[in-house]
Amino acid sequence: MAGTQLTGQPADGSDAAEGRNRTPVAVLGATGLVGQRLVRMLEGHRFFRLAEVVGSERRAGRDYAEATPWAIGGDPPARTSGLELLPPGVALRSRVVLSALPSAPAKKAELSLARSGHVVCTNASVNRLRPDTPLVIPEVNAAAIAGVATQPWSEAGGALVANPNCVVVALAMALAPIERAFGIESATVVTLQALSGAGLSGLNAVEVAGNVVPWIRGEEDKIGPELNKILDTDIDVAVAVNRVPVLDGHTAHVFCKLRSPPSRLDAVRALQDFRPSPTTARLPTLPT
């Protein structure tokens, strides 16, 4: 894709050995729960280094490690000490931008960054179903990333790529080999979703203690369309979602009607024989 080659040079132009061969990255929404996960994942990453963090106007100008209500265990990475939180809308030096913004600000900010030549990888839901935005799980549909070449901002070197809803990640991974082998006509999905999915401002302990909340705003509307976009299918998907008092880890009960019903052994073999796209072989977080 013309104009989208990434550079590993530090954003500040320094020759520090630590940053010279890794691509600098900015994280939007860096103080939230997803933003914290991204910051943690960038610690010691082979390909990328954390260069800029963007937060709210209220926290802008403060030290990231001090201003962030760290909630994912341990301490903020040592590299974040002294890293200043930047305000929304600031001009970023980093070519690659990871967005953990809420949907409302993400819609405008992500498109603006892509038009300005940034490669934006977003966790926000608002741009996932745009026809020109690849919705990617590398192990399932890595080839979809080629769609960035036809995006209206590609000539400027920009790109916008989305990852799917948290439930859809696991669901698509499990159903991809079944769909490819036998075809799926319809699916009924019942989720039991952990508290981590609600973010820092989610349900409090009183609401969830010994309780199941049988509705999550907007969640049911995402799962079917995103699953079909990733698998390139028209599966009839019925969904019921529940928030449960579990800290981390979602569960889904899935019932499928297949176009060519297999034997139990054939279904098991299809799952066992599934292999991710060869293009994912170099990804450092790929399970082995």
- Between CA 140 and CA 154 the distance in angstroms is 24
CB 132 within 8 A of CB 158: no
Q: Which of 118, 121, 166, 256 is catalytic?
A: 166
| CB distance 144 to 135 below 8 Å | yes
**Is 250 a known active-site residue?**
yes
CA distance 133 to 153: 11
Query: Cα separation of 161 and 34, whole Å?
Result: 17
Neighbours of 11 (CB within 10 A): 18
- 121, 98 contact by CB (below 8 A): yes
Query: Which residue out of 118, 121, 250, 256 is catalytically annotated?
Result: 250
Is residue 92 within 8 Å of residue 24, measured between CB atoms? Answer: no
Q: End-to-end distance of the chain based on CA atoms, in angstroms?
A: 30
The catalytic residues are: 166, 250
